[in-house]
């Protein structure tokens, strides 16, 4: 096999990227961010056959056209909304991703956020640390979750794993997706997401990102949940109308929110930091050593398999 040239884009940890493996099989260029492309000479850009990408910058036609030899973009992660698939199609560039591997970790984080916000775990820690437990006694009561009604927006791989975990909490499962799924007959399907929100107490968002879901969770959805409602988001910050969410949290129109994703990460809206009814994490739902190592290996194998056998192992659905 002809030795190909790969460009690695992203701030990888040593677990996420086995650089020596890449160098054994390919000629390798590496940059931390897409904006660093200016550091690579035009002549060298033209030699690049594949991109291994980890990041949140947009890769569109303008960027792709800088690489006339490019045949595949291998994305690190299950979300690939930053890569314009239509533009890739125009240029006959394949796009792969790393599904399934991270589903368990992300679902685990969803439940952690759920417990964190409902039982006010941050508040409890601060109650001890501040001395309030000694001076004021018990902290204010919070919200139980066992036996509640939970809605899942988007019953894909991760949404399904969230639902399975919620069953252990004696939860009544409601879900929205484009069509009914082959799941337990006890799970209740909706083709109208607003109707779903009207009939549940808590909402788990597991939608894919991109233009089709931008601001999908609107003020109407939050109003339908009501003052005892909890919102959990482990998908993309863009799927929620973030200002409406902040307004609802500040005014007490919903009970709280557990969030691992935001708009404009990592420079999130400072209004979140003034709230005591949120449980926040820095977009790290899949960030365990075991999972990130497996994601990096699949990202590499997608490129290798493409050049050895003509197809990546996990092509994005739009290109299958």
Residues with catalytic function = 236, 265, 283
Strands (E), 18-171: 26-31, 50-53, 72-75, 94-96, 149-153
Task: Please give the angle made by the CA atoms of 102, 262 and 128, to the nearest 5 degrees.
Answer: 90
Q: Are 204 and 151 in contact (CB under 8 A)?
A: yes
Distance CA 300, CA 12 (A): 13
- Strands lying side by side in the sheet with 202-205: 188-190, 172-176, 149-153, 202-205, 230-233, 256-259, 278-280
Residue partners of 169: CB distance under 8 A and separation at least 6: 145, 146, 147, 148
**What sign has the CA pseudo-torsion 90, 157, 263, 30?**
negative
192-210 in b/e form (b: 16+ CB < 10 A) is: ebeebbbebbbbbbbbbbb
Q: Which of 95, 100, 113 is nearest to 150 (CA)?
A: 113
Give the strand pairing for 72-75 and 50-53: parallel
φ, ψ of residue 261 in degrees (nearest 5): -135, 150
């Amino acid at each position: 096999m002809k030795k190909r040239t790969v460009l690695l884009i992203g701030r990888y940890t040593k677990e996420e990227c086995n650089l020596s493996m890449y160098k054994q099989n390919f000629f390798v260029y590496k940059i931390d961010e897409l904006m660093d492309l200016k550091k690579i000479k035009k002549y060298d850009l033209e030699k690049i056959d594949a991109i291994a990408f980890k990041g949140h910058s947009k890769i569109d036609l303008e960027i792709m056209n800088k690489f006339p030899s490019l045949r595949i973009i291998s994305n690190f992660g299950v979300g690939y909304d930053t890569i314009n698939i239509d533009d890739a199609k125009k240029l006959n560039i394949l796009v792969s991703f790393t599904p399934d591997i991270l589903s368990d970790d992300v679902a685990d984080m969803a439940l952690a956020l759920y417990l964190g916000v409902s039982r006010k775990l941050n508040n409890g820690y601060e109650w001890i640390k501040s001395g309030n437990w000694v001076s004021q006694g018990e902290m204010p009561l919070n919200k139980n979750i066992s036996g509640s009604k939970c809605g899942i927006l988007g019953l894909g791989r991760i949404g399904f794993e969230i639902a399975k975990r919620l069953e252990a909490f004696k939860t009544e499962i409601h879900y929205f997706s484009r069509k009914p799924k082959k799941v337990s007959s006890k799970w209740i399907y909706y083709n109208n997401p607003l109707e779903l929100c009207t009939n549940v107490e808590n909402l788990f968002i597991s939608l894919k990102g991109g233009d089709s879901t931008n601001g999908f969770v609107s003020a109407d959805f939050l109003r339908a949940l009501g003052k005892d409602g909890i919102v959990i988001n482990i998908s993309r910050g863009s799927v929620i109308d973030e200002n409406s969410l902040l307004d609802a949290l500040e005014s007490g129109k919903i009970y709280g929110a557990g969030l691992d994703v935001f708009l404009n990460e990592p420079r999130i809206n400072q209004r979140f930091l003034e709230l005591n009814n949120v449980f926040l994490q820095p977009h790290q739902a899949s960030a365990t050593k075991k999972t990130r190592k497996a994601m990096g290996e699949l990202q590499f194998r997608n490129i290798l398999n493409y050049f050895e056998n003509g197809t990546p192992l996990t092509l994005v659905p739009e290109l299958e």
